[in-house]
Chain A
Amino acid sequence: MGFQKVCDLDELWEGDMDVFDVGDKEILLVHLEGGKIVATQNICPHQNFELVEGSLSGTILTCKAHLWQFDLNVCKGINPEHSVLAQYPIEIRGEEIYVDPSGDEPKYSH
């Protein structure tokens, strides 16, 4: 499927996150403080809750349902440690953000 345009850079400010349908995936796009942009899954690996409704503090995303925490810098669980999040490839072309939805699959764990 390859890279698809998701949004413009100025639609996603630093410290913000938003969810987009890209190809057949529901992708959470996060603009971390410091400038890094991360594309990951929107559904928590634990249960069927949307991570976009969670809270973001620095690089740490906390799911609002059962307080699972992830470090978005590496897309890995803080608590529980064993959990991981999908990492979709990203490209910034000029002022536009592109994501390759075929670059990963949503992860699940319990």
Chain B
Amino acid sequence: MSELMFKTDGYANFISGQYILLSVPGIKETRAYSMSNISNNDGQWQFHVKKVKDGKFSNVLINSLSLGSEVNFDGPFGHAYVRTDNNRDVVCVAGGSGLGPMLSIVRHLANESSARFRKVYFFFGGRRPKDMICEKYIQPFAKNFSELSIYNSVSERSKNNLDNWSGSVGFIHELVENVLNVRAPEFEFYAAGPPAMIDSLVRLLQLKRNVPFEQIHYDSFF
């Protein structure tokens, strides 16, 4: 995973959890990337970009751009933006590069005056132990909240994984179910990750646990 920062003139105006469509020199199509920082006056837009093997887009972003290169943005877009109209405790569920927008939401909530009364449960899923990178980004905000708990799970049940990982093994929605169980409807949920992860999670929350539709926020395109 690489962190990139772009700068625009003026205000970087977006709501945490939103994304932009990015286009880069030499490639026709666009890609959606969610900001990992928060709205700011300095025109700074930060992204977590996963290098995809043979992925021409991520390859240009990570390897071909240099200081001073220019890209185009369109946006911001998205439904999975942070809601501040309620005091519910928050659950973030991130898979892979879905970490970016969930980090943005944690950053936003950490700055709210209500943060010291709020609990945040952060779930992060990846395939292998080496993918489990969320602690260093999320843990620093623990001091802002009344509680910040981080739950990691690796999904690949290979011998190599199991030998090198003492934490939870399985899909991230299974860990969400184990931890929250019947308490799920008490929380406001934000999720970002691969479509299969989002689908399993939303089925669990909405159909099994009857979490009100209005309390679950996601965009499934990663």
Contacts and interface: CB of A to CB of B under 8 A. Distances in A.
Contacts of B206: 67, 69, 79
Contact of A67 (B207, B212, B214): B207
Nearest to A77: B213
A58 to B, nearest CB: 13
- How many chain B residues sit at the interface, stated as a range, is under 10
B20 interface: no
A80 B216 CA distance: 11
B210 interface: yes
Nearest to A69: B207
Given A62-B207, A67-B207, A69-B207, A80 B214 contact: yes
B122 to A, nearest CB: 24
Interface residue SS majority, chain B: helix
B212 A81 contact: yes
A70 interface: no
B172 interface: no
B212 A79 contact: yes
Contacts of A88: none
Contacts of A93: none
Contacts of B211: 79
Nearest to B199: A67
A67 B207 CA distance: 8
Interface of A: 62, 66-69, 78-81
> Which A-B residue pairs are the 7 nearest by beta carbons?
A80-B213, A67-B206, A79-B213, A79-B210, A79-B206, A80-B212, A67-B202
22 contacts: A62-B207, A66-B202, A66-B213, A67-B202, A67-B203, A67-B206, A67-B207, A67-B213, A68-B213, A69-B206, A69-B207, A78-B210, A79-B206, A79-B207, A79-B210, A79-B211, A79-B212, A79-B213, A80-B212, A80-B213, A80-B214, A81-B212
